Amino acid sequence: MAEIIAIASGKGGVGKSFLSSSLAMSLNAGGHSSLLVDADLGGANLHNFLGYKIPPVGIYNFLREKNQLEEIITHTPMGVDFVAGSGDILGIAHITKVERSRVIEKLRQTPYRFVILDLGAGTSFNTVDLFNLAEKKIVAMNSEPTAIENAYGFIKVALYRYLERFLSADHVFADVNKKLRNRSASYPDVELLISDVERVDAEVGSFIRKFVNDYKIGMVLNIVRFKKELNVFYGFETILKKYLSIVVEKLGFIPYDDRVSESIRLMQPFYNAYPESGTASCINDIRDMVLTKL
Ligand SMILES: Nc1ncnc2c1ncn2[C@@H]1O[C@H](COP(=O)(O)OP(=O)(O)OP(=O)(O)O)[C@@H](O)[C@H]1O
Ligand SMILES: [Mg+2]
């Protein structure tokens, strides 16, 4: 069974697709076969990071044209196997919960060691639910305040949505659930939520506490120009611990590198073109952290 690695961010344009494609190539180079999936359903562009101008056959064909999963996997010249997104944005921006589970289950049954999901920006149910279905959850950001705020918001929505679904199975938690839907206003701090649940049912309360404590997020800081930007990691970790009581694993950083956008323009995947660069070595460090810590 393949393990799912999901890469999200909250804010757009912070480097999810660059990280996903580079991580897949790095895992492959390290002998861990990986399937890369464009799960940015409303804005698929991962194919550009693999040297394709237009997406080859992809996830649309699986969900809407009834192709088998094996038929929609592209074997790229870089050695990475790839499931493209849909060029037709309106065609597939939203998929149902059943479709999400079906595609994830099928991906898990593929013979790869890992399946990497490049998710869309924002907090749509598509993105948040796919993130919650993954065994390894990664959030990418840069050091800009907007990216940090959106990364925090994304993680909070993802955690609360998971809890909301879990609690909605039992009507005795109807009040808690109602407040939960009102997210930040009612529960700025996850401990307040856990105390409310504990008041209704102590056992469920301690279960929820355990789940929250086990909800692990890996963080990657991208587009780093100055060393001092790394302080963002420590600040972010403190805030997540304080308000959401979850564990953060600092997976590493990627420097700003001019050759990233150039390689997209030239249709030559960065990791492949510059495997000996300092940037590729940072990506390998992140890969090793994903393998050992996440
Ligand atoms: N380390 C880096 N150094 C320099 N430029 C970078 C780096 N990482 C990403 N970029 C640039 O930032 C742009 C956005 O990157 P990318 O498309 O990977 O972000 P994204 O989070 O997937 O965006 P979206 O939310 O639109 O899917 C790219 O066009 C790329 O040129
Ligand atoms: Mg992207």
Q: What is the pLDDT of residue 90?
A: 54
Q: What is the pLDDT of residues 213-258, one digit of tens each?
A: 989 999 999 999 999 999 998 899 999 999 999 989 999 999 999 9
Residue of the nearest CA to atom 8 in ligand 1? 15
Please, which residues have CB less than 5 A from ligand 2, an ion? 16-17
Angle at 54 between CA 57 and CA 274, to 5 degrees: 105
Distance separating alpha carbons of residues 290 and 174, to the nearest angstrom: 37
Q: What is the pLDDT of residue 87?
A: 63
The ligand 1 atom nearest the CA atom of 256: 3
Using a 6 Å cutoff on CB, does residue 261 contact ligand 1? Answer: yes
258 CA to centre of ligand 1 in angstroms: 11
Q: What is the pLDDT of residues 146-192, one digit of tens each?
A: 999 999 999 999 999 988 877 887 888 888 888 887 766 678 889 99
Q: What is the pLDDT of residues 3-58, one digit of tens each?
A: 999 999 999 999 999 999 999 999 999 999 999 999 988 888 899 999 998 877 88
Distance separating alpha carbons of residues 248 and 252, to the nearest angstrom: 12
**pLDDT beyond 90 at 142:** yes
Residues 6+ apart with CB under 8 A from 195: 205
Distance separating alpha carbons of residues 4 and 107, to the nearest angstrom: 8
Q: What is the pLDDT of residue 261?
A: 96
The answer for 66, left when phi > 0, alpha when psi is -120 to 50, beta otherwise, is left
Using a 6 Å cutoff on CB, does residue 13 contact ligand 1? Answer: yes
Which ligand neighbours the alpha carbon of 264 most closely? 1
Distance separating alpha carbons of residues 142 and 253, to the nearest angstrom: 9
Domains contained in the chain, CATH given: 3-144+216-293 (3.40.50.300)
The answer for 78, left when phi > 0, alpha when psi is -120 to 50, beta otherwise, is alpha
Using a 6 Å cutoff on CB, does residue 28 contact ligand 1? Answer: no
The ligand 1 atom nearest the CA atom of 13: 23
Give the predicted TM-score (pTM) of the model: 0.95
210 CA to centre of ligand 1 in angstroms: 35
18 CA to centre of ligand 1 in angstroms: 6
Using a 6 Å cutoff on CB, does residue 121 contact ligand 1? Answer: yes
